[in-house]
Amino acid sequence: MATSQMAIEEAAEFTLAEQYKTNRSGAGRWIISHFKRYWYVGIVILIGAFGNAALASVVPIQVGQAFDAILQNPPKVDLLAGFAWTIIISQLIRGVLQFGRNFGAEILGQLLERNIRHELYVSLLGKSMTFHNLQPVGDTMARATNDVREINFMFNPGFNLVIGSANFLIMPLIVAPRYHPSLVLVPILFIIGYILALWQYLGELDPITTKVRSSFGELNTRLSEALDGIETVKGMAQEENEVGLFEKNARRFRNAFVWQGDVEARFLPLLLLGLAQGGALLHSLILFRQGLLTTGDVIAFFGIISLFGFPTFVSLFAYSQVSLGNASARRILELINRETELDQNVAGSEAEMKGAIEFRDVTFNYGDTDPVLKNVSFKVEPGQTVAIVGQTGAGKTSLAKLVNRTYDVDSGQVLVDGIDVRDWQLEPLRRGISIIEQDIFLFSRSIADNISFGCQNDSQADIEAAAKAAQAHEFILDFKDGYDTVIGERGVTLSGGQRQRLALARAFLTDPTILVLDDSTSAIDSATEDKIQRAIYNAAKGRTTLIITHRLSQIRWADLIVVMRKGEVAAVGTHEDLLRTSEAYRRIFTE
């Protein structure tokens, strides 16, 4: 990226309206750029924090004066009520200011959590498939939920207490000289010691909080994989093994936390506070002996020094919260910034799609492995039905995924209507192309919602018409709730053939120019087979259709057949041609 500024609503593959910029060049800068939108809340927090600290020092000042008043001869008892009222009123105001600080920090934390979650979500949806193939879902989930939450905590209680306590830190510096100028000595020494100790503490904490966050990600990865693959885990009787692996990760997470606790326990300012109180008492008593301070001054000064107690005690917790938040920010940003190879071509074509497809000497692989497709070339006219056949692993699914840029070719070109797919805008390209995957994914929403997934505004009548065309209407009505049946709830799951027909219904609604059907559901009874057949036949009418299939019935009525073999095109032609000329083709039917 040329500049580190990037619009939050802008992802590689699509663009949303309503934009604002965040600075993604570093975790700190990124958080600040999020905070900047709400700078005024920051001001409320600052005013609240300063007022709170200033009014906290009113208490020891008034107590000191009260002592001086009663130690006079005769004691000036009539003054005491005034001191008491000053304390009461000042503390009431302090309560309001404290509320402003706390409430401001809470609002800020929540706003930032929401915005960051949104930014991350937009970014994740815009990432290429290569990214998603390599990034474990569990880890992404950990970042999208807990790490985002940590940033909330970083503001409240984290920064809230940091700013609150920093103001308590400077109060003794401001107030002490009113008793004697030399009394700033102990506060200055304490603050220097405090800052040095904090510096050392944060340095030591940084790798630990990073470890805490990353071990949580690993823990989650393992959990989500075990749950995702629960059928395999059970089928292979690997439960104990998986539990063992999970425990190992859980232990690692725990150890990271214990390590953090260890560092926290050795936090130096606790010791410094004791020294400061002793030193302050000594210093003020010396001045008292020289007649430079009154008894009330000594008491007040000691009370003022006790204000250091707040920064000392909360810093332990507040700074580890900030440190955790920082580690989380780095993890989220790392995910957002990770390269996505596939880039939206904003200036690309958005023409009406006619449906011609051409593969021109295409070579492709998923990583650094041997090419999955080698020198693939063939041409499809608009409206044709093309069957792609070949043994398992021949590269049929991979080939289909290049058409809508789920992946990009390594060399060669895939052209739609004579335009390289990389020179199309993604949105119109993908709107024009529907791919019905080999393993159809259904969302845990109602059947109607699943059918209308590609175009959310369709009416119930449209949905039913599509379901009828896809031969799905009957089995949908067999469910008690019909179209409102929620998939995945109360044991509603669908068979392969049913899923396929739902996906076909989806395609009828989106009405794509190009339909790709990865149909490898092999073992179905003949009645269902017949239904699917009819559904596919309906769907193929009036559009370019690529069917990946093993079924002879489907292959027969295709205008063109592409025979794949080990990533290469072994033959192209009609059924009759190929039976005569292609050995590879004949072999498919004799297996």
- Applying CB under 6 A, the residues found at the interface with ligand ATP are 133, 366, 372, 390, 392-398, 438, 520
Picking from 365, 361, 414, 393, the residue whose alpha carbon sits closest to that of residue 564 is 393
Q: By C-beta, is 75 or 393 nearer to ligand ATP?
A: 393
* Residue 323 contact, options Mg ion, ligand ATP, none, Cβ 5-8 Å cut-off depending on partner type: none
Where in 435-494 is the site for Mg ion (CB under 5 A)?
438
Nearest to 539 by CA among 497, 576, 500, 496: 500
Q: How near is the Cβ of 520 to ligand ATP at its closest, in Å?
A: 5
- Helical H segments across 229-268, by residue range: 230-235, 239-265
Q: How far is the CB of 360 from ligand ATP (least distance, A)?
A: 19
Rounded CA gap, 63 and 67, in Å?
A: 6
**Piece in contact with Mg ion (CB under 5 A), picked from 383-391, 393-401, 479-487, 557-565:** 393-401
For residue 399, the minimal CB distance to ligand ATP (Å) is: 7
# residues near Mg ion by CB under 5 A: 2
Partner from Mg ion, ligand ATP, none binding residue 278, C-beta < 5-8 Å depending on class: none
Question: Smallest Cα–Cα separation from 398: which of 421, 429, 376?
Answer: 376
366 contact choice in Mg ion, ligand ATP, none (CB below 5 to 8 Å, kind-dependent) = ligand ATP
Neighbours of 319 (CB within 10 A): 20
Q: Binding partner of residue 413 among Mg ion, ligand ATP, none, CB under 5 to 8 Å per kind?
A: none
- Contacted by 395, from ligand ATP, Mg ion, none: CB < 5 to 8 Å by type: ligand ATP
**Mutual orientation of helices 295-305 and 269-289 as an angle, nearest 10°?**
170
Tokens of 40: 């005024």
Q: Is 555 left (phi over 0), alpha (psi -120 to 50) or beta?
A: alpha
By CB under 5 A, what part of segment 395-414 binds Mg ion? 397
- Piece of 91-99, 131-139, 363-371, 389-397 that binds Mg ion (CB under 5 A): 389-397
**Which distant-in-sequence residues (6+ apart) come within 8 Å of 401 by Cβ?**
129, 407, 435
133 interface partner picked from ligand ATP, Mg ion, none, CB below 5 to 8 A per type: ligand ATP
CB of 393 vs ligand ATP, minimal distance in Å = 4
- Tell the smallest beta-carbon distance from residue 369 to Mg ion (Å): 17
* Nearer CB in complex with ligand ATP: 392/526: 392
Bridge pairing between strands 514-518 and 433-436: parallel
Which residue, 307 or 436, is less far from Mg ion as judged by CB? 436
Nearer to ligand ATP, 120 or 433 (CB): 433
Nearer to ligand ATP, 392 or 590 (CB): 392
Give min distance, CB of 392 to Mg ion, in A: 7
Q: Least distance to ligand ATP from the beta carbon of 502, Å?
A: 20
Give, rounded to a whole angstrom, the gap between the first and last alpha carbons of the chain: 52
Angle, in degrees to the nearest 10, between helices 58-71 and 39-56? 20
In 3D space, the residue among 584, 586, 515 whose CA is nearest the CA of residue 552 turns out to be 586
109 or 395: whose CB is closer to ligand ATP?
A: 395
Give the ranges where 57-79 is alpha helix by DSSP (H): 58-71
Q: How far is the CB of 471 from Mg ion (least distance, A)?
A: 23
CA distance 304 to 56: 9
Taking the C-alpha atoms of residue 483 and residue 477, their distance in angstroms, rounded to an integer, is 7
394 binds, among ligand ATP, Mg ion, none (CB under 5 to 8 A by kind): ligand ATP
Q: Which residues contact 50 (CB under 8 A, 6 or more apart)?
A: 167
Q: Which two tokens stand for residue 382?
A: 């608009």
| Shortest-Cβ-distance residue relative to Mg ion | 397
By CB under 5 A, residue 65 contacts Mg ion: no
**Least spacing, CB of residue 40 vs ligand ATP, in Å:** 48
Write out the two tokens for 135: 């990034």
Q: Is 259 exposed, middle or buried (0-12, 13-18, 19+ CB in 10 A)?
A: middle
* Min separation Cβ 324 and ligand ATP, Å: 35
Tokens of 305: 């020094």
Interface with Mg ion (CB under 5 A): 397, 438
